[in-house]
Amino acid sequence: MAHGFLVHGAEDHVGVAVRDLRARERVSGVFLTSGKAIEISTIEEIPLGHKVAIMDIEAGEGLRKYGEVIGTATQPIETGAHVHVHNVKSVRWGSV
């Protein structure tokens, strides 16, 4: 099975879709740092290049990608959910 997403590091909360992912699809991914495989089930469509949650994330929790906190979850995010501007506030722009 070809991987549907890539995860940059073991401490990350999200992977990046390398193709469009269908809702309710069982999909595999791989950690780039270790080569370890992971499988999740999506709960909604995830477009190519967008983030998918690889674990449950609590509202208010810092969201990690590249081993860095890139944003804060604005609501609970379930494993397999699309992670984007509707449920994450970026830390890149500070308080803007």
Cα first-last separation, the chain:
42
Instruction: Name beta bridge partners: 65.
Output: 68
pLDDT in tens, the chain (96 residues): 589 999 999 999 999 999 999 999 999 999 999 999 999 999 999 999 999 999 999 999 999 999 899 999 999 999 999 999 999 999 876 654
In angstroms, the Cα distances linking 22 to 27, 36, 57 are 9, 23, 21
Domains identified in the chain and CATH numbers: 5-90 (2.30.130.110)
Is the whole model's pTM more than 0.85, yes or no?
Answer: yes
Q: What are phi and psi of 55, to 5 degrees?
A: -155, 165
